[in-house]
């Protein structure tokens, strides 16, 4: 599903070169739930941006679902990202002046999807996260946990093969965080591959495998028991 080989990312200015990733090797199989941990500044966010085709890399090879994205043009990368990848962000990234249905519809419109299919996908996704009755509500009318579930529904409506989550419980209290993680586990059980960046070790242990990144290198890969399995 996701295979990085010797991926390097360097940020350069006139005087300084900063290595964000240093020959990182990582393979995530289809259907896995992988947590990526590491200290601040270790390269986790850079890795996630590259995995999500939001950022290019300096050298190495990255295969996404069997496709080499290394030299792929921007339009092709955007199309692949829209078709195969879903994103969940710490800050939810919902559009405040759109209701939940319209928030979920935006990325589907970019794909040129017929209106009837868009509606069916959105209603199913909102039902899956327990928010179908709130589809006409606006983000400000929801709790933090509900906003994150709405963001998950937006990602699910696109039918992603790969779901990338960046600190998905970072702005939630422990009870809401638990609900969101349980939802992610259910999504993974249905076959969606999930890669989740987190600082929370307890949250990481809910994943099937933990990859630790330090100084731009994947230094540890451990399998954990999933308490829901």
The tokens of 152 are what?
């998950």
pLDDT digits (tens, 9 = 90+) for 113-124: 999 999 999 999
- The pTM of the full predicted model, rounded to 2 decimals, is 0.91
In this prediction, residue 224 carries a pLDDT of 59
pLDDT digits (tens, 9 = 90+) for 52-110: 999 999 999 999 999 999 889 999 999 999 999 999 999 999 999 999 999 999 999 98
User: Exposed/middle/buried for 200, CB within 10 Å: 0-12, 13-18, 19+?
Assistant: middle
Strand order in the sheet with 67-68: 17-28, 2-12, 59-64, 67-68
Instruction: Give percent of the chain with pLDDT exceeding 70.
Output: 97
**Dist. CA 197–CA 38, nearest whole Å:** 9
Residue 31, pLDDT > 60, answer: yes
pLDDT digits (tens, 9 = 90+) for 13-28: 888 889 999 999 999 9
- Chain mean position to CA 117: 23
For residues 149-166, average pLDDT: 96
Give the domain ranges of the chain.
Answer: 32-58+73-223
Mean pLDDT of the chain: 92
Place of tokens 């928010």: 131
DSSP reduced 3-state for 101: helix
pLDDT digits (tens, 9 = 90+) for 184-196: 999 999 999 999 9
* 32-58+73-223 homologous superfamily: P-loop containing nucleotide triphosphate hydrolases (3.40.50.300)
């Amino acid at each position: 599903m996701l295979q990085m080989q010797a991926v390097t990312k360097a940020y350069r200015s006139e005087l300084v070169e900063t290595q964000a990733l240093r020959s990182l090797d990582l393979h995530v199989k289809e259907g896995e739930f992988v947590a990526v941990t590491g200290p601040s500044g270790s390269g986790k966010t850079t890795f996630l941006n590259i995995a999500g085709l939001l950022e290019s890399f300096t050298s190495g090879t990255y295969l996404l679902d069997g496709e080499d994205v290394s030299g792929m043009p921007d339009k092709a990368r955007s199309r692949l990202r829209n078709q195969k990848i879903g994103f969940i962000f710490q800050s939810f990234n919902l559009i405040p002046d759109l209701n939940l249905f319209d928030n979920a519809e935006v990325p589907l419109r970019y794909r040129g999807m017929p209106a009837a299919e868009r509606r069916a996908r959105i209603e199913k996704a909102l039902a899956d996260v327990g928010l179908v009755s709130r589809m006409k509500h606006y983000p400000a009318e929801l709790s933090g946990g509900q906003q994150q579930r709405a963001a998950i529904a937006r990602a699910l409506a696109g039918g992603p093969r790969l779901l990338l989550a960046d600190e998905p419980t970072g702005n939630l209290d422990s009870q809401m965080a638990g609900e969101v993680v349980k939802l992610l586990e259910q999504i993974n059980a249905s076959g969606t591959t999930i890669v989740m960046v987190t600082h929370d070790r307890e949250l990481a242990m809910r994943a099937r495998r933990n990859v630790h990144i330090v100084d731009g290198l994947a230094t540890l890969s451990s399998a954990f028991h999933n308490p829901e399995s």
